[in-house]
Each structure stands twice: as structure tokens, then as C-alpha cells.
């Protein structure tokens, strides 16, 4: 697999789950990974794992619902590195469990600000450096819920449908500059997302049948090491057995 030494990768939601796995994977390929999330303590743990494996990373404790903080992050990356080769928009929330007419406005706003507005703001902050370099990869982590109905999860589903549309449109805008934009849409992933946890033997068996964070990380690694003349625009990732 292509070595990423010298490249700067920015991963949102890097404190746990898919984001942590993606960060570890990109660092193992030689990239300097900027770890972005609100939880500095958990980011420190991911940074420790990267350092112990001989990789390089930087922590950026950022509230992705804050346009000002994301804009400041973009300036920081330009000042410190003057490049951004890889952006993985992974951070997301899923406030699921109520029909749309019972969903509080604050839940709707939080979902869209995290799942759709934040990727827009991150792209706005970092894509100019990719355009200048005539190269780069943007990968948005969506969901199969962005392609299918999700009763009692309409806000989450709508945010991911929107993220898919954003991805396809930005891909057409940026391909002329050599910047490739892709979306990964996984099914059920074995993470703490949504507040679920495996408590008993049956729950543990179901968790083992789910997609693992490392599975998503391997897809990211494949996307950012493609030959330059082509790109994969979308990956649908399903568990081999239904959980």
C-alpha cells in the first residue's frame, strides 16, 4: 500500500470508534494525523497509541458545531503545515428513537450541525489548500440510513441523505483540481454510537457480527492510496451476517 509519509491527514470524531481506527490506520501509513474532537482526554489516548506505534499526530480540541472554531482550525493547519492532503469527515451523532413530529428542535439542529454543517465547514476551511496543491482526498462517512427509510430516525437519515448529496456535488466541483471526494456508507458498526452497549452473551455475539471500526478504516486506507487516474466515489459497507 502507498506510503503517506509527509502527508497531513485531518480526522474528525477521532476520539473514539471509527475516527480513532481511521486515525491509527493513516498514521501507520506514515501520515501526520490531526485528531479533531471535543474530548481532549480521549484524543490524548489516541495520540498515545499512535506515538507508541511510531506514528505522528497532533490534537485539536474543537467543537464541530462552532463555525469560528473550525475556521480557526483551518488557519492553524495552514500556519503549522501549509497543506492538507486528506480530510475524513467522520464525526456524527444519531438522536434516534422518536418520530419526527415528536423530535425536539434542538435535537434536529444538533444532528444537522454535526452531521452536515460540520463537513461543509471543514471542506470550506481545508479544500483551498488541496486546490492549491492540485491533489487531495476528502472522505465523508455517511450511513446506509442515508439511502433507506429510518422510522424514528428521520433527522439522522435526512442528515446522511444530505451528506451524500454534498459529497457527489463537491466531487464534481473539485475533480478538475485533482481532488477526489468519496463517501463511505456503512451499516451497523460496533461502536458506542447511539448509546448502545453489549452487556450479555447475546449482545456480545451481535456486536461481533457488526462491521468493526477497523473495517471502515481499511476502506479509508484503500481510498487514499488509489492510483491517481481514478477514484471510487461511493462505498457501501455491509456486515457479512446481519446482526
Which residue among 120, 156, 168, 177 is the active-site one?
A: 156
DSSP states of the chain: ----TT-EEEEESTTSHHHHHHHHHHHHTTPEEEEEES-HHHHHHHHHHHHHTT-EEEEEE--TT-HHHHHHHHHHHHHHTS---EEEE-------SS-GGGS-HHHHHHHHIIIIIHHHHHHHHHHHHHHHHT-EEEEEE--GGGTS--TT-HHHHHHHHHHHHHHHHHHHHHGGGTEEEEEEEESSBSSSGGG----SHHHHHHHHHSBPHHHHHHHHHHHHTS-TT----EEEE--SS--
Which of 219, 237, 235, 139 has its CA nearest to residue 180? 139
Determine whether 156 is an active site residue: yes
Q: Report the alpha-carbon distance of residue 29 to residue 122 in Å, rounded.
A: 23
Give the residue numbers marked as catalytic.
156
Amino acid at each position: 500500500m502507498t506510503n503517506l509519509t509527509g502527508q497531513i491527514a485531518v480526522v474528525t470524531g477521532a476520539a473514539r470508534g471509527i475516527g480513532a481506527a481511521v486515525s491509527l490506520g493513516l498514521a501507520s501509513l506514515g501520515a501526520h494525523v490531526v485528531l479533531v474532537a471535543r474530548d481532549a482526554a480521549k484524543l490524548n489516548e489516541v495520540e498515545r497509541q499512535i506515538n507508541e506505534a511510531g506514528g505522528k499526530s497532533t490534537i485539536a480540541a474543537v467543537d464541530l458545531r462552532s463555525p469560528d472554531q473550525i475556521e480557526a482550525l483551518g488557519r492553524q493547519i495552514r500556519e503549522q503545515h501549509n497543506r492538507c492532503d486528506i480530510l475524513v469527515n467522520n464525526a456524527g451523532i444519531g438522536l434516534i428513537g422518536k418520530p419526527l413530529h415528536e423530535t425536539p428542535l434542538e435535537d434536529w439542529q444538533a444532528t444537522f450541525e454535526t452531521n452536515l454543517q460540520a463537513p461543509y465547514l471543514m471542506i470550506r476551511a481545508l479544500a483551498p489548500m488541496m486546490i492549491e496543491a492540485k491533489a487531495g482526498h476528502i472522505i465523508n462517512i455517511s450511513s446506509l440510513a442515508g439511502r433507506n427509510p429510518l422510522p424514528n430516525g428521520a433527522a439522522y437519515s435526512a442528515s446522511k441523505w444530505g451528506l451524500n448529496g454534498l459529497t457527489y456535488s463537491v466531487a464534481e466541483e473539485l475533480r478538475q483540481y485533482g481532488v477526489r471526494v468519496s463517501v463511505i456508507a456503512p451499516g451497523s458498526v460496533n461502536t458506542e454510537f447511539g448509546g448502545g452497549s453489549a452487556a450479555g452473551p447475546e449482545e456480545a455475539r451481535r456486536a461481533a457480527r457488526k462491521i468493526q471500526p477497523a473495517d471502515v478504516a481499511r476502506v479509508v486506507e484503500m481510498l487514499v492510496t488509489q492510483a491517481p487516474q481514478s477514484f471510487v466515489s461511493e462505498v457501501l459497507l455491509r456486515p457479512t451476517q446481519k446482526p
